[in-house]
Structure 1
Amino acid sequence: MDVIDITLKKPIPAHGETVSVLSLREPTGDEIRATRRLPFLVRGVDGAFVPDPRTILKYAATCAEVPPSSLSKLCGPDVMAVNEAVMGMFVGEADDLPTLAEVTGKETAAVGEMPHMVSVDAETFYVNTAAAMRYIELLGGMTKDQVDALSPAAIARLSLQVISFFYGGTSEASTS
């Protein structure tokens, strides 16, 4: 597991010490499930990734093993460095992705929730990682441990693929 070291422009207090280098490891599958979100929102018809600062800082606190209150003391440039590091873990290269079957009502009933949530502006959504990862298990014929062993970038790509199944099909609702 790779570690990203961020040399802070302004050291912060953590665990009764002064921290001048924040070491971020990749989050585990369990941590991604528990956070319940990817560190970005998907916005607009073009699907642009927009950093989600609150979620990014949750991942940073977990992966650097520092209290969230310590990260509230980061200066602006250090926040940007943390954003870049965490986002990079999820949007980097992802090799050897498993093939997923298309989602059906069977998997939707088994999971019991959608793999995403749409915001009030109806143009932005976040990925519900707990649900998306369960879909990945079912659609990829994988165990929880196999999904959890995937890189954060692979989990992000596969989660977005699962969501695309809900919007890319040919089914249309009609009233009769």
Structure 2
Amino acid sequence: MEKTNFKLSRPIKAHGEEVTELSIRRPTTQEARAIKQLPYTLGETGHPVADLEVAAKYLAVCAAIPAGSVNELDLFDLNTLAWMIVGFFLNPASPVPTT
């Protein structure tokens, strides 16, 4: 499964170690069904609005870090990573074939 590396602006602790970079992977359909929520809602204009709490749940799963480690993220990193998670739901995993 393809992963995207994200360099943190400030280190966090995960699994008892200092972490300066996270490897984020696309969530699976099974994981999305287990979380039971999308990481975004649609705003009044029809544009996606990140749901920070739900995105944080996906982030813990997709980065393989404890939920408590998500709480240590710098706000800039949390925002950027939340939108990365939302992007997984708004873009196909591979290009849609054209006929």
TM-score by length of 2: 0.87
Give the Å deviation of 1:83: 1.5
Give the Å deviation of 1:42: 1.5
Indicate if the aligned counterparts of 2:39 and 2:52 stay in contact, CA closer than 8 A. yes
Give the Å deviation of 1:49: 1.0
Q: Which residue of 2 aligns with 1:165?
A: none
Distance in 1, Cα, partners of 2:20 & 2:80: 13
Q: Which residue of 1 aligns with 2:77?
A: 78
Distance in 2, Cα, partners of 1:30 & 1:10: 31
Distance in 2, Cα, partners of 1:48 & 1:26: 21
Distance in 2, Cα, partners of 1:48 & 1:84: 13
* Superposed counterparts of 1:1-176, under 5 Å: 1-44=1-44, 46-93=45-92, 95=96
Secondary structure at the aligned position of 2:65 is classed as coil
Distance in 2, Cα, partners of 1:41 & 1:91: 12
Structure number with the higher strand fraction is 2
> Any idea what the Cα deviations from partners look like across 1:17-62, whole Å, max 9, x if unmatched?
0111111111111101001111101122x42210000011100000
Query: Which is higher, the Rg of structure 1 or of structure 2?
Result: 1
Number of aligned residues: 95
Q: Which residue of 2 aligns with 1:141?
A: none
**Structure 1: where are the runs of 5+ without partners?**
97-176
- How many percent of aligned residue pairs carry the same amino acid? 35
Distance in 2, Cα, partners of 1:5 & 1:22: 6
Indicate if the aligned counterparts of 1:4 and 1:85 stay in contact, CA closer than 8 A. no
**Structure 2: where are the runs of 5+ without partners?**
none
TM-score by length of 1: 0.51
Distance in 2, Cα, partners of 1:43 & 1:84: 15
Distance in 1, Cα, partners of 2:82 & 2:28: 18
Secondary structure at the aligned position of 2:11 is classed as strand
Indicate if the aligned counterparts of 2:50 and 2:83 stay in contact, CA closer than 8 A. no
AA of the residue aligned to 1:55 = V
Secondary structure at the aligned position of 1:84 is classed as helix
Indicate if the aligned counterparts of 1:35 and 1:58 stay in contact, CA closer than 8 A. yes
